Amino acid sequence: MKKYFYQDDTLTYTKEELFNIGLELVKDFCHLNNIPEPNSIKLSKAKCSWRGVYYYDSKSIVLYENSIKQPTKIPGYKWSFPGYKADITPIGVISHELGHHIENILKIKCNILRKFAIDKKRISSYEPSAEEAFAETMRLFITNPTFLKILSPERYNILINDLKLKPIITDNWDEVLKYAHKKHIIAIENRINKSKK
């Protein structure tokens, strides 16, 4: 089993190194699920307020280096970390944008997207529409599927049962987040304990 971004301490990687890891991860995910890869995936040095964008017509992804972030060393105001529910690292952003690509390629029907909009359990703070909720769900399904299953078993089951997607990462959430700060782990454990009540 390949351990893309959690084989070494991700805090030591540059944005470009994290981008390359994310690129390998999403390409392998596409291959596993027989989904055509985007026509291009680029890391741009252009100044932009967006972290990334998926162009539906050209089936291409662009990430903006100035807007994506390094993993958070100590959570407080910022919690972003690869495989966590907040993830604006290159790995998270490229996985999110691939979610838009999958929606485009699979021609996901409105009724499936509607299920994501109806789901009141947001998995991240960035879900202004059903399309973005789907992309955020795909981001977590690609980077840490067992964590997605904890946060939203309904969404996880839609991806597995309705869309017939297979996770590329099969390790448990705590293995994926083994280099994250203890605060990340405690937050997840608290969430698990709340769901058991």
CB 87 within 8 A of CB 143: yes
CB 176 within 8 A of CB 158: no
* 146 falls within a domain: yes
Position 116 scores a pLDDT of 66
Mention every residue, 6+ apart, whose C-beta is less than 8 A from residue 177.
6, 81, 83, 84, 144, 147, 184, 185, 188
Asked whether the predicted pLDDT for residue 193 surpasses 90, the reply is no
**Banded pLDDT at 117 (limits 50, 70, 90):** low
**Banded pLDDT at 61 (limits 50, 70, 90):** very high
DSSP state of 43: E
Position 130 scores a pLDDT of 80
* 2 falls within a domain: no
3-state DSSP helix/strand/coil percent for the chain, to nearest 5? Answer: 50, 5, 45
* 3 falls within a domain: no
Mention every residue, 6+ apart, whose C-beta is less than 8 A from residue 41.
23, 26, 60, 61, 62, 63, 94
- Give me the mean pLDDT over the 15-43 stretch: 97
Asked whether the predicted pLDDT for residue 56 surpasses 90, the reply is yes
Position 27 scores a pLDDT of 98
pLDDT (tens digit per residue) in 125-172: 787 788 888 999 999 999 999 999 998 898 999 999 989 999 999 999
Asked whether the predicted pLDDT for residue 17 surpasses 90, the reply is yes
* 5 falls within a domain: no
Q: Domain range for residue 110?
A: 10-196
Position 77 scores a pLDDT of 87
* 174 falls within a domain: yes
How far is 20 from 123, CA to CA, in rounded Å?
25
How far is 65 from 46, CA to CA, in rounded Å?
8
**Banded pLDDT at 110 (limits 50, 70, 90):** low
Position 148 scores a pLDDT of 94
Position 131 scores a pLDDT of 86
- Give me the mean pLDDT over the 37-65 stretch: 96
**Banded pLDDT at 91 (limits 50, 70, 90):** very high
CB 33 within 8 A of CB 13: no
- Give me the mean pLDDT over the 94-106 stretch: 94
* 88 falls within a domain: yes
- Our count of domains for the chain comes to 1
* 90 falls within a domain: yes
SS3 string, 58-126, reads CCEEEEECCCCCCCCCCCCCCCCCCCCCCCCCHHHHHHHHHHHHHHHHCCCCHHHHHHHHHCCCCCCCC
